[in-house]
Amino acid sequence: MRTWRTIAISLGLLMAGAMHAQDTLALEQALTMALANEHGIRMARNSADIAERFATPGNQGLLPRLDAGGRGQYSNQYTRLDFVEGLPDVEASGVENTTLAGQVGLAYTLFDGLGNFAQYDRARLDAVLADINLRAQVEGTLTQVIALYYALAALDEDVRITRRILDISAERHARLEGRAALGGAGRLDVLNALVDLRTDSTTYILALQRRERTTRDLNVLLGRDPNAEVTVSRRLIYAAELDQERLVEESMRGNVLVAASVAQVKAAEVDRRIAAALRWPRLDLTANYGITDQRNDVGIVLGTLNRGFNGGLGITVPIFDGGRINTQVEVARLRQENAMLAEQQARLQVERDVRNAFTTWRDQREVLRIQNDAVTIAQLNFDRTRDLFERGQLTSLQFRQAQVDLADTERRAVVAGFETKVAELQLLRASGGLLPALGVQTR
């Protein structure tokens, strides 16, 4: 938990810093939008609500069923009654017969091998699994949002760098054209400068295109108009030192894959109980209170009224069903064994993922340090080269090479910076601490 809080502090500082301008979309705001609007999260949340509503005693047969019913019947017909000798026969048209009946009935399973209780436990586990799936959907979506947010920030830096390089190329071209007009530079230098200017213009256009596409991708995840303009914060704050073993330990409790596999093991055990309950006798209770009133125009009995209580017990004992119950019990046992194997596999995979993510994060930090040093060196080299070029002591090609070297080094440093932050968050997700660190509640 200490690790999660450490990273949460850095994320909080980053989000707070991103809110300095009214037109800047803070990372916290982007995450809130995604939680509220992203379609996958909304569908997963509905599925979790559905599973929770089914996980009640009434829906799983633990409560008695009480029904009220009634019927009414009327007939008008020709009737002829032939009685035994000594009673006069009856023949009439328009004979009316009416029947009115109503009852309240109760039905309840007293015993079924405790299968109804196992069904209730299974429904509650289904609700747990639905919540875990919701959490997995939220983690996946927010990870994409964060990655795109930082990708957009990196592209903003790339546009800035590319624009600055374009301005330098335009200045260089104008300077060489002025020299050529005075006879101080050859036409070849001017043409080379023009080629470089066209190349940098193309690079700038492509950088804007990449930013525009990434903006649309982020807007879709946020559930809003793909063409909406987005300005993100480019400020980065990194977490302090992280402990690999502590992260592995936390992942065994908090990783969504481990949590799902543990719930599946419990569900398989309950399924085995449900199958085993089929071998037991079933005892059902029925009871009802009813009233029946019948009236006849003709006949020996002209009216009947029944009113009272009826109750009964029914028992069903499975004797032979072609081996289907035995098959279900054996299948449930094998599925439970598979679930236990899957849990062991999940724990191994999660430990591997955490250690791989930790290695990536550790190495990426070193890459970032090297690239930042490289930018300092490349900037010094460019400043020196530019000074010599303006004095006429270096060729245009030498100046261009220093310019390209600086741009490439700055881009690599920018990419390394944001990839380091993404690697940090991927490590946090693998260890199961992404949502706690972000302070996000799935529902």
Given this model, what pLDDT does residue 1 score? 41
* Cα–Cα dist 362/436, whole Å: 22
Given this model, what pLDDT does residue 92 score? 83
Cβ within 8 Å of residue 366, ≥6 positions away: none
Domains in the chain with CATH codes: 2-37+112-280+318-438 (1.20.1600.10)
> pTM for the full model?
0.80
Cβ within 8 Å of residue 123, ≥6 positions away: 51, 54, 55, 56, 59, 60
Per-residue H/E/C for 418-442: HHHHHHHHHHHHHCCCHHHHHCCCC
**Token pair 């017990």: residue:** 313
CA distances for 286 relative to 111, 191, 428, angstroms: 13, 99, 57
Using CB atoms within 10 A of its CB, is residue 272 exposed (0-12), middle (13-18) or buried (19+)?
Answer: buried
Spatial contact of 375 and 408, defined as CB atoms under 8 Å apart: no
Q: What are phi and psi of 161, to 5 degrees?
A: -65, -45
* Cα–Cα dist 290/226, whole Å: 65
* Kind plus residue range of the DSSP H or E element containing 198: helix 187-221
Spatial contact of 233 and 16, defined as CB atoms under 8 Å apart: no
Given this model, what pLDDT does residue 184 score? 59
Per-block mean pLDDT, blocks of 10 residues, the chain (443 long): 41 42 78 92 95 94 93 88 75 87 94 93 96 95 93 92 91 81 71 89 95 95 90 84 92 94 96 95 94 84 88 93 93 96 97 96 95 95 91 84 91 92 92 86 76
The pair of three-digit structure tokens given for residue 420, joined into one six-digit string: 């380091």
**Token pair 């080094």: residue:** 409
Given this model, what pLDDT does residue 182 score? 67
Q: Between the CA atoms of 372, 377, 383 and 387, what dihedral angle is there, to the nearest 10 degrees?
A: -170
